[in-house]
Amino acid sequence: MRVLVTGCGGYIGTLLTPYLLRKGYQVKCVDRLFFGKDLLNHVIGEKGFELVEMDTRAISKDVLRDVDAVVDLAALSNDPAGELNPEWTMDINYRARSRTARLAKEVGVSRYILASSCSVYGRQEVMADESTEPNPLTTYAKANLLAEKDILPLASDRFTVTALRFATVYGPSVRMRFDLVINAMTLSAFTEGVIYVEGDGMQERPLVHIMDVVRAVNLVLEAPSDRVNGQVFNVGSDEQNYRVIDMARIVQSIVGGEIRFRGVVDRRSYRVSFRKIRETLGFNAIYNVDDGIKQIYHELLTGHLKPEDRWFTVKWYKTLLAKDPNLFNLSSSQ
């Protein structure tokens, strides 16, 4: 099978790509490589790998004609990044992905997977499952939900469409991110001896290890169409619903450091059920939060991972925009 992965140079994409290659897939990647082409050095030159340096908003039918499936990861990632310019976020995270899905269907691609987020739940008083009414509170979450609503109705006997709502991801990657809660806490504990908790820390959030996300994507690629077509799946595990203060205490128990409260209480707070993906596809997470913290801590201790500016998404985007204010305009990439 030949799979097109958008956002192959991102946090998830730099791990999903080699994983699929090892599984015997051919992988065609589309990315503008904002964080550096070197992040794909581990796959460039491998048999079955092809890199197309392109803005996903410019994907043409020609790019899609020779692929069997699309895994659409490309997005301006996370809530703070989404607020840098809400129109860019809507353009890239919503309209571009909707367009890619429609083009994929038109040229005969058989399967499309949308990378969405549990952030669409926003704030919930009950444990949310896929039938819960979403309550997106940020531009990033709203763009994900709009993409779902546009793309899922495209499902047909010949075009299998699935939306995956990832829990908050953690763990080390080739394109590291230190703006995700577990990763950020682990870094600050290591570098400053302080674990920062926003607000009172009582807000709840589901977590999932990055390699479990990769495994889930592969599972959906290989699942019988009738089990996943037109479906939304939360990706994570029930056991990894945590209050933020409890996340901080786990980091403290492994890395050490003082827990320090700051800022205002985050409006986002939700617990999520992952029963559907477990019962429908037999998916179970094999990593836990302790694993992810220890892996990051190990990489920091050995010097394999250093806190570069490009590992902080908003900071890096601001650096790039200072050099080119039109960076995210489609015309500037052509």
List beta partners, residue 152: none
- Kind of pairing between the strands at 194-198 and 258-262: parallel
Question: Which residues, in sequence order, are CB contacts of 161 under 8 Å at separation 6+?
Answer: 101, 111, 112, 113, 114, 151, 152, 154, 155, 229, 230
- Percentage of the chain with pLDDT > 90? 92
Distance (Å, rounded) from C-alpha 252 to C-alpha 8? 33
**In the predicted model, what is the mean pLDDT of residues 266-277?**
95
Cα dihedral 305/309/310/313 (nearest 10): 110
**In the predicted model, what is the mean pLDDT of residues 299-310?**
95
- What digits encode the pLDDT tens for the residues 47-78? 999 999 999 999 999 999 999 999 999 998 87
Distance (Å, rounded) from C-alpha 1 to C-alpha 67? 8
Distance (Å, rounded) from C-alpha 289 to C-alpha 142? 27
Confidence of residue 82 (pLDDT cuts 50, 70, 90): confident
Question: Which residues, in sequence order, are CB contacts of 31 under 8 Å at separation 6+?
Answer: 6, 7, 8, 9, 10, 13, 51, 52, 53, 54, 74
pLDDT at position 52 is 97
pLDDT at position 333 is 44
Closest CA to 295 of 175, 180, 167, 187: 187
- Contact status, residue 39 vs residue 53, Cβ threshold 8 Å: no
- Kind of pairing between the strands at 160-166 and 69-72: unpaired
Question: Which residues, in sequence order, are CB contacts of 333 under 8 Å at separation 6+?
Answer: 32, 54, 55, 58
pLDDT at position 77 is 83
Q: Which of the 8 DSSP states describes residue 267?
A: S
Mean pLDDT score of the chain: 95
- Percentage of the chain with pLDDT > 70? 99
Assess whether pLDDT exceeds 80 at residue 93.
Answer: yes
Confidence of residue 334 (pLDDT cuts 50, 70, 90): very low
Helices (runs of H) and strands (runs of E) counted in the chain: 13, 12
- What digits encode the pLDDT tens for the residues 105-137? 999 999 999 999 999 999 999 999 999 999 999
pTM above 0.75, yes or no: yes
Distance (Å, rounded) from C-alpha 167 to C-alpha 115? 11
Assess whether pLDDT exceeds 80 at residue 195.
Answer: yes
Instruction: Catalogue all structural domains in the chain, each as residue range(s) with its CATH number.
Output: 2-171+208-236+272-286+313-333 (3.40.50.720)
pLDDT at position 331 is 54
Closest CA to 1 of 78, 84, 88, 67: 67
Assess whether pLDDT exceeds 70 at residue 162.
Answer: yes
Question: Which residues, in sequence order, are CB contacts of 43 under 8 Å at separation 6+?
Answer: 17, 18, 21, 27, 49
> Would you tell me how many other CB atoms lie within 10 Å of the CB of residue 255?
21
- What digits encode the pLDDT tens for the residues 7-50? 999 999 999 999 999 999 999 999 999 999 999 999 999 999 99
